[in-house]
Chains A and B, each alone.
Chain A
Amino acid sequence: MAAAQAAQLPRRIIKETQRLLSEPAPGISASPSEENLRYFNVMILGPSASPYEGGAFKLELFLPEDYPMAPPKVRFLTKIYHPNVDKLGRICLDILKDKWSPALQIRTVLLSIQALMSAPNPDDPLAENVAKHWKDNEQEAIATAKEWTRLYATM
């Protein structure tokens, strides 16, 4: 079934998928779903020296019909305490919206998300209360993020 689907898949997606599987980026794994080759199961390891260190975060990534002219849709499946990620796991990242460029790839998107985990940006928040917490008392917020990582992101 996957083979039949692959025949209709744009060459670019096939190439990207092959490369993601053959040369994965450090700390990131992404593999297409059996049923839908546009749907990827993603795992990002919490970057070292971040509150998410030691955690393994599951995400889903979907390539819409217009991809790569339109950005992929990405969402955290694992609960994460982060000012730019809301309760539903939606991510506030400019390249997933107006700063998207067709020259970007799945790999670059995932690397950007990894970088966002290392450097939260409470000035451009998606989760207001988390961002407020982050700004008012960074120590405490980081502690919560670590706690959540321990609770939800460790196997």
Chain B
Amino acid sequence: MSPGSVRMRDADEDSLAVSEEEEEAMSGSQEEAEDEDGSGGSYAATGSDSDPATNSEDATSEEADLGVLEGGEAGGSRALGYRVIDSESLKRLQRDAINDVAAIWGCTPAIAKTLLMCYMWDKERLLNDLGDKGQDAVFRAAGLVVSDGGAEAGSSQPAPAEAAPSSSGTITCGVCMCETPAAQCSTNSCGHAFCDDCWQGHLSVQIGEGKARHVVCMSFKCGVVCDETLVSKVMKGDPTLLEKYSQSHLQSYLEDNARVAFCPSVPWCGHAIEVDGDPYVEPECACGLAFCFKCAGAPHSPCTCKMWDMWEEKVNGDSETRNWLAANTKPCPKCTKPVEKNGGCNLVVCKCGQPFCWLCGQGTGMQHTWTSIANHSCGRFKDELDARMSEAARNHKRYMFYFERFKNHADSIRKEKANRAKLLARIAASEHDGVEARDYGWLVGALDQLRTARRVLCNSYAFAYFFFGGAMFADDFTEEQNEVNRNLFEDNQEMLAQEVERLSGLADRAGETLSLDSELRYAVINSSTNIATRITNFFRLIEEDLYARVTSLSAQIAVPRA
């Protein structure tokens, strides 16, 4: 249920707690009632300081959600390519990353953490640099003690502080210039000793200024990071600041990490997403919000981030005005300005002086009566109309064509989202109370597939608007190529749309009765498999036949994992 990669990441000491978590997640809602006892306790043990009961419930429902998501991917064999991070898993993921590096390079976890923070948690780059540039160079850059000769990197595990001071038993602190008993002094891993009061003052200022992730020794030009043993020793009188220090280190995994992005929900749900590597992913957060990892906008594949940005601007910029204009005006065939009919007969005269027929929008002469315009007959010239309309008017028409279809699917997504939530609740209830085992995994999977497909379909109209015609790819394709491409694209789009409507109907039927009728079930499963295949084919066409031929930009998009 849980992705393989997560399981593998959970090294040694953690495995017990994790397997319990997984069990909990797998058994899903049935176990929720028993959360108060044993299994819930395991969360509290690894958990934060908040209420253990709510904590464990949250975590359970989240893990279950994740499970549902993955179950939804047909076959379930391919990983999602991302995972949701909450305050619990953050600690675990960070520790795993640290332990990984510590194990591979044979250094202490504290050193691994300093290195990783310095390398923005890019493990591969860090290990490459350690290999290529050598340990000394990397350590020096990260503010770690460079070991001399045979001494192990572990030298940053400081020798007992008492060992460093002189035999007289006091040290003259180089900062406050006071004679201080050695017991009240501390030595950083670089060997520089100062009195605890000065260390504390230094750390307070540095942490207060938000530099908690890289506090260096007080000695001039030393540059060695204050090790955590030192920090926790001298800061123990100020738990608030010490907490700020460790929180900052924890948050570093999210804030400094190129593979992590915060969920863009407003108000923020408190989650972040970590991708496995490929940033072109459209993850769904535990809060239910799906977004593009790269640009944090709504999921927009097969549009590129740039296309989506332009589309959003076009759609949201003045959609109200645009809709009103579309409903109440017609573009002048000469100057393309929108013209509103303020009464009178069907001959309308634009401000620019061009008369045209209100019924068909075609330019005419001025001679007319109430019932007819001289030398003009609507309908007979209808076919030529498009060709005669000016470029701008055609573009507007083109936009409205795609926008209306885009909007229809977007509306469907919104409606289906509400229905989906209700249905999922009923499924959960039904799975819970039945005597015989009921498995609605097929239906949940179908709903997920449906949602993915709707989104792809919806966005494909925005894609088509930019890709077939318009200025964006004007230099990449000839008219004929464009025509061929568009036909291919529309064929695929239509095939997907048909299957989506079919599955939508089937899922509705299955959802109404929650029947386990095998015929209906097979139909649903078949249809979702069909959709998966069609999405794959659709994207293969888009990636290999369309984007791949574009030379003006390198388009990268998220591909739904079918």
Q: Give Cα A134 to B155, complex, Å.
A: 47
Q: Are A70 and B219 in contact (CB under 8 A)?
A: no
Q: Give Cα A17 to B297, complex, Å.
A: 59
User: Is A69 part of the contact surface with B, judged by Cβ < 8 Å?
Assistant: yes
User: Is A136 part of the contact surface with B, judged by Cβ < 8 Å?
Assistant: no
Q: How many chain B residues have a CB neighbour from A under 8 Å?
A: 16
Contacts of B201 in A (CB 8 A): 66, 69, 102
Give the shortest distance, in Å, between A134 (CB) and chain B (any CB).
27
Mask for B174-199, Cβ within 8 A of A = 1, else 0? 11111000000000000000000010
Give the shortest distance, in Å, between A36 (CB) and chain B (any CB).
21
Given contacts A101-B219, A101-B222, contact A12 B175 (CB under 8 A): yes
Q: Are B219 and A103 in contact (CB under 8 A)?
A: yes
User: Is A26 part of the contact surface with B, judged by Cβ < 8 Å?
Assistant: no
Q: Are B177 and A101 in contact (CB under 8 A)?
A: no
User: Is B374 part of the contact surface with A, judged by Cβ < 8 Å?
Assistant: no
Q: Give Cα A102 to B222, complex, Å.
A: 12
Contacts of A16 in B (CB 8 A): 177
Chain A interface mostly = loop
Q: Are A102 and B177 in contact (CB under 8 A)?
A: no
Q: Are A69 and B176 in contact (CB under 8 A)?
A: no
Closest A residue to B200 by beta carbon equals A69
User: Is B123 part of the contact surface with A, judged by Cβ < 8 Å?
Assistant: no
Q: Are A11 and B219 in contact (CB under 8 A)?
A: no
Give the shortest distance, in Å, between A41 (CB) and chain B (any CB).
23
Q: Give Cα A16 to B177, complex, Å.
A: 9
Q: Give Cα A11 to B218, complex, Å.
A: 18
Q: Give Cα A101 to B218, complex, Å.
A: 5
Q: Give Cα A68 to B218, complex, Å.
A: 10
Q: Give Cα A10 to B416, complex, Å.
A: 69
Closest B residue to A99 by beta carbon equals B221
Q: Give Cα A68 to B202, complex, Å.
A: 8
Given contacts A11-B178, A12-B175, A70-B205, contact A101 B221 (CB under 8 A): yes
- Across the A-B interface, how many residue pairs have beta carbons closer than 8 Å? 39
Q: Are B218 and A102 in contact (CB under 8 A)?
A: yes
Most chain A CB within a 10 A radius of its CB, from B177, B201, B206, B219: B177
Contacts of A70 in B (CB 8 A): 205
Contacts of B176 in A (CB 8 A): 10-12, 68
User: Is B204 part of the contact surface with A, judged by Cβ < 8 Å?
Assistant: yes
Contacts of A69 in B (CB 8 A): 201-202, 204-206
Q: B178, B198, B221: which contacts A102 (Cβ < 8 A)?
A: B198
Closest B residue to A108 by beta carbon equals B220
Give the shortest distance, in Å, between B35 (CB) and chain A (any CB).
48
Given contacts A69-B202, A69-B205, contact A101 B220 (CB under 8 A): yes
Closest B residue to A10 by beta carbon equals B176
Q: Are A66 and B205 in contact (CB under 8 A)?
A: yes
Given contacts A66-B205, A69-B201, A69-B204, contact A103 B177 (CB under 8 A): no
Contacts of A101 in B (CB 8 A): 218-222
Q: A12, A95, A108: which contacts B177 (Cβ < 8 A)?
A: A12
Mask for B219-240, Cβ within 8 A of A = 1, else 0? 1111000000000000000000
Q: B175, B204, B206: which contacts A103 (Cβ < 8 A)?
A: B175
Contacts of B174 in A (CB 8 A): 103
Q: Are A104 and B205 in contact (CB under 8 A)?
A: no
Give the shortest distance, in Å, between B186 (CB) and chain A (any CB).
14
Q: Which residues of B does A touch, CB under 8 Å? A: 174-178, 198, 201-202, 204-206, 218-222
11 more A-B residue pairs beyond the given contacts A12-B175, A101-B221, with a C-beta to C-beta distance below 8 A: A10-B176, A11-B176, A11-B177, A16-B177, A66-B205, A101-B219, A101-B220, A102-B198, A103-B218, A103-B219, A108-B220
Interface CB pairs A-B, < 8 A, 30: A10-B176, A11-B177, A11-B178, A12-B175, A12-B176, A12-B177, A12-B178, A16-B177, A66-B201, A66-B205, A68-B175, A68-B176, A69-B201, A69-B202, A69-B205, A70-B205, A95-B220, A101-B218, A101-B220, A101-B221, A101-B222, A102-B175, A102-B198, A102-B201, A102-B202, A103-B174, A103-B175, A103-B219, A103-B220, A108-B220
